[in-house]
Amino acid sequence: MANIVIVGSQWGDEGKGKIVDILSEYADIVARFQGGHNAGHTVCFDNKKYILHAIPTGILHPKKTCIIGNGVVVDPAALIQEIEELKGLGVEINSSNLRISKRAHLIMPYHRAFDLGREDKKGESKIGTTGRGIGPSYEDKVARMGLCAGDLLFEETLRTGLQNNLQEKNFILENFFHTSNLALDELLDRYKSYGDRLKSHLSDTSIIINQAIAAGKTIICEGAQGTMLDVDHGTYPFVTSSNCVSAQACIGLGFGPKCIDGVMGVVKAYTTRVGNGPFPTELKDKIGDKLREAGKEYGATTGRPRRCGWLDVAVLRHAIRVNGLQTIALTKLDVLDHLKSLKICTGYKWRSEILREFPAEIQVLNELTPVYEEIDGWEDVTHGIEYYEDLPQKTKDYVNRLRDLLDIDISMISTGYEREKTIFVPDSLLSQWLNVTIDKKLISSL
């Protein structure tokens, strides 16, 4: 038995989808604990690309139970579309392998309208939201005026909630955003139909998870986005609207912290960010462009180009601390293959000070400059290497330097998009947690 939380350690897009996909083979349950369909996890195998938004990555494995927890906000229309698209790719989805918390809050059309309207009014100060209604849905949850997935099963509850909300929402849409208001009956009919479509998937998922824990099952808790987009611990206000850190797994799935056996952070071998906000190591030059093209750094959900930069150890120290990370999976190492030299940010210079930790103040972040350590690149091919001993020595030097700077175990190294292009570091914490020797032949044949 092992209950493992997997989180992003930077600004998201670290490759969590592939890592969770591989580890799903060793799990009984894969559960998503926060965020919405603004996330995008990409998994490649058998010459197919699977892009998941709200559904946990474990759905690509037969006989696994996937859970969308109460901490997730759900757009029923987008979820139904995702289900149908995955079915079209041959993925089996039924009421047994996909369970949705009745307590998960719903994203409504007025949430999307508010999201887009606010961004438009901010002009150059916009945050860079995907416009999917995630933030406004969380706002209504906290304001105690949200609608939950379980409400889809009760027409009068749904009608009353919509009536109360539309009084306020339509007034703001018409008088502040100057857009069309929304009709109660049309919304009610639409969301009743979503309820009919999803009712067989709706459950009290906290009960399912706690029963599985009591039975000694293995659970992978899957986060979306990354630590630096956490609403409390990220680069506020340029963040998402939920907590992306490991502690949210307990809240967003409904189990106690004593049940967590391990926390793994996923770390990209360089750094990227989508949307606006501070990014100390951003490269606005040919190297940044080269990283973007080599790494195919375009959003899985929006297609937006990602900003690219050098690895930032101060960011990772912050992620290790606030998540309690015990080990990491290092991804996209092969993207650095053809660079002659590499830089690692070890801290920042701000005015007359050297900062070794990531600052909380947005004003400081806007003024600092990174302090770099430069090391040799390997100028050799690591793409597709599956065993640590086969890596070039200079690649090992980079990995070892990162391990020394962070003082943390490294369990996995990804050298390509496909499942089999993954190195499992011998005697790592991950193998101890799962109490297995990761079978490369098994991974290659999944």
Task: Let me know: does 345 contact 311? Beta carbons within 8 Å.
Answer: yes
Can you name the residues that pair with 73 across neighbouring β-strands?
Answer: 105
Element (H or E) spanning 139, and its range?
helix 134-142
- Least confident stretch, 18-22, 290-294, 415-419, 442-446: 442-446
Is 337 a residue of the active site? Answer: no
Pick the catalytic residue from 37, 41, 111, 318.
Answer: 41
Determine the length of the chain.
Answer: 446
Q: What are 185-195's pLDDT values in tens digits? A: 999 999 999 99
Is 404 a residue of the active site? Answer: no
- CA dist 13 → 239, 249, 292, 412 (Å): 14, 19, 12, 17
Q: How many C-beta atoms lie closer than 10 Å to residue 185's C-beta? A: 9
Q: Could you say which DSSP state residue 270 is in?
A: S
Q: Which pair of structure tokens corresponds to residue 95?
A: 């009421």
Q: How confident is the model at residue 441 (pLDDT cuts 50, 70, 90)?
A: very low
- On the question of pLDDT at 172 being above 90, the answer is yes
Q: What are 127-158's pLDDT values in tens digits? A: 667 789 999 999 999 999 999 999 999 999 99
Q: What are 53-62's pLDDT values in tens digits? A: 999 999 999 9
Percentage above 70 pLDDT, the chain: 96
Q: What is the mean pLDDT of the chain?
A: 92
How confident is the model at residue 434, as a pLDDT?
Answer: 80
Rounded to two decimals, the pTM is 0.93
How confident is the model at residue 128, as a pLDDT?
Answer: 67
Long-range contacts of 192-197 (CB under 8 A, 24+ apart): 192/152, 192/155, 192/158, 194/76, 194/77, 194/80, 194/152, 195/76, 195/152, 195/153, 195/158, 197/76, 197/80
Q: What are 359-402's pLDDT values in tens digits? A: 999 999 999 999 999 999 999 999 999 999 999 999 999 999 99
How confident is the model at residue 446, as a pLDDT?
Answer: 34
- On the question of pLDDT at 311 being above 50, the answer is yes
- On the question of pLDDT at 443 being above 50, the answer is no
User: At a CB cut-off of 8 Å and minimum separation 6, what does 306 contact?
Assistant: 13, 272, 273, 274, 292, 297, 298, 299
Best-predicted range by mean pLDDT among 119-128, 168-177, 294-303? 168-177
Between CA 342 and CA 281 the distance in angstroms is 12
Percentage above 90 pLDDT, the chain: 83
Between CA 73 and CA 111 the distance in angstroms is 11
- CA dist 93 → 45, 66, 89, 284, 431 (Å): 18, 10, 11, 43, 29
Q: Are strands 353-355 and 409-414 parallel, antiparallel or unpaired?
A: unpaired
Q: What are 263-305's pLDDT values in tens digits? A: 999 999 999 999 899 999 999 999 999 999 999 998 766 778 9
Of 19, 10, 4, nearest to 414 by C-alpha is: 19
- On the question of pLDDT at 433 being above 90, the answer is no
How confident is the model at residue 41, as a pLDDT?
Answer: 74
Mean pLDDT of 192-205: 97
The type of residue at 370 is P
- Least confident stretch, 1-5, 15-19, 40-44: 40-44
Task: Sketch out the chain's domains with CATH numbers.
Answer: 3-97+204-445 (3.40.440.10), 105-201 (1.10.300.10)
Between CA 20 and CA 23 the distance in angstroms is 5
Secondary structure E strands in 307-368: 307-309, 311-312, 327-331, 341-350, 353-355
Q: Are strands 341-350 and 311-312 parallel, antiparallel or unpaired?
A: parallel
